Amino acid sequence: MSRPGTRYARSGELNIAYQVVGEGPLDLVYVPGFVSNVELMWEEPGYAAFLERLATFSRLIIFDKRGTGLSDPVSNDALPTLEERMDDVRAVMDAVGSERAALLGHSEGGNMCVLFSATYPERTSALVLVGCYAKRLRSDDYPWAPAREERMRDIEETESSWGDIDLATFAPSKVGDEAFERWVGRYYRQSASPRAASALLRMNTEIDVREVLPSIDVPTLLLYRVGDQDVKVGEGRYIASRIPGSRLVELPGQDHYMWCDDAESILQEVEEFLTGVRRGPDPDRMLATVLFTDIVGSTETASRLGDRAWRGLLDRHHDVVRTELGRWRGREIDTAGDGFLATFDGPARAVRCAVAASRSVQALGLQIRAGVHTGEVEVAGDDVRGIAVHIGARVAGLAGAGEVLVSRTVRDLVAGSGIGFSERGTFELKGVPGGWELYAVADV
């Protein structure tokens, strides 16, 4: 799925950045927690896959709340109230022509959804809260939240080390994932400045929607992971007990980020709740790195050698490439003509395999070109297909003799691996929308 374009809705005097993706039968407004950046969401594969899945059964509407991401900034001395931020939902819905929508609120975003659904029940078809709290300060009747002193200390530390995210708290399943850690730090830094982030946290500290909960009169689903350390499952039980007719589902896991860990369980619950249909995960779809290779000047070489000699040379070429595939854990998919299509479970291995194969076949007097791309593929028996496969083939077709070209996705995913790249520029790939930045492998 290509990335959606960003547009702006007018909410009072401010511009609110939003995107629309999918053409499903129902409108679904996703309100993210704390801060967000609607364009950087799509750069993290797990987050992008989560949003794409929501868009398979809805017209998904996502936006950055005022003061965050690509929306207009706000004064740190006059931060918006929850009521003003809630009005951003209405403004975006008006902009996209949505008369009635389901709301999906994650973490702090759930508070806005609570207030909106109670205020505008005629415009709310359903409410889904994931890891949402009712208030952010501890009290005798709400013991799960942090004490004020603890909260203020956390806010001060957040401003001084903005972008250094405690994954052990928010996404334990991603601890040790260097690529994710780099992305999440960049995501937060480009969603708000340090001062704005701390100011927003101070505002969020005063949120208390407990008195609103009994007024909600729309179908409501609450989803909580039992091991979540940021928002406790006890808070979900409290909220569910105060929203008439609501349904609480407690799921295994520890991650507060809903698109991490077992995101499929959350997606299944949301889809069934909103559509009445529960489907299992797509076993025929997976994230993979595809490698395409082919021999440069094969037609000329075959004509010069003759059929018998060419066949013998081609067999030796195949043996060399297959040796490298085995060494780097590649899975051979196809050997049509004089090239290979293979998949890998890691982009760095695919790149190193391509470089090693290119060097090895030179001893046979041959040169190959190679292209590498990472994306979601459809598995059909022993074959793979889908847009990622087409992109990999197009990238390979642009490579020169002895060159390994990769997409920007691959370059970003292997950051820190020691593999060096040189920019080749932005290209149009036949049959694939948008411009694609390509890089040549310069050093492994």
Q: What percent of the chain has pLDDT over 90?
A: 79
pLDDT tens by residue, 20-39: 999 999 999 999 999 999 99
Identify the CA nearest to 233 among candidates 334, 331, 163, 129.
129
Tell me the pTM: 0.67
Residue type, 63: F
What 3-state class would DSSP assign to 174? helix
CATH of domain 285-443: 3.30.70.1230
Phi, psi torsion values for 421, nearest 5 degrees: -135, 155
What ranges do the domains of the chain cover?
A: 7-275, 285-443
Residue 81 confidence (pLDDT): 79
pLDDT digits (tens, 9 = 90+) for 232-273: 999 999 999 999 999 999 999 999 999 999 999 999 999 999
Look at residue 283 and tell me whether its pLDDT is greater than 70: no
- φ and ψ of 429, to 5 deg: -105, 125
| CATH number, domain 7-275 | 3.40.50.1820
Is residue 232 within 8 Å of residue 258, measured between CB atoms?
no
Tell me the CA distances in angstroms from 413 to 2, 349, 397, one per residue in order.
18, 12, 22
Please write the tens of the pLDDT for every residue from 172-224: 999 988 889 999 999 999 999 999 999 889 888 988 999 999 999 999 999 99
Sheet containing 27-31: which strands, arranged edge to edge?
7-11, 14-21, 59-63, 27-31, 101-106, 124-130, 220-225, 247-251
**333: its two tokens:** 């998919």
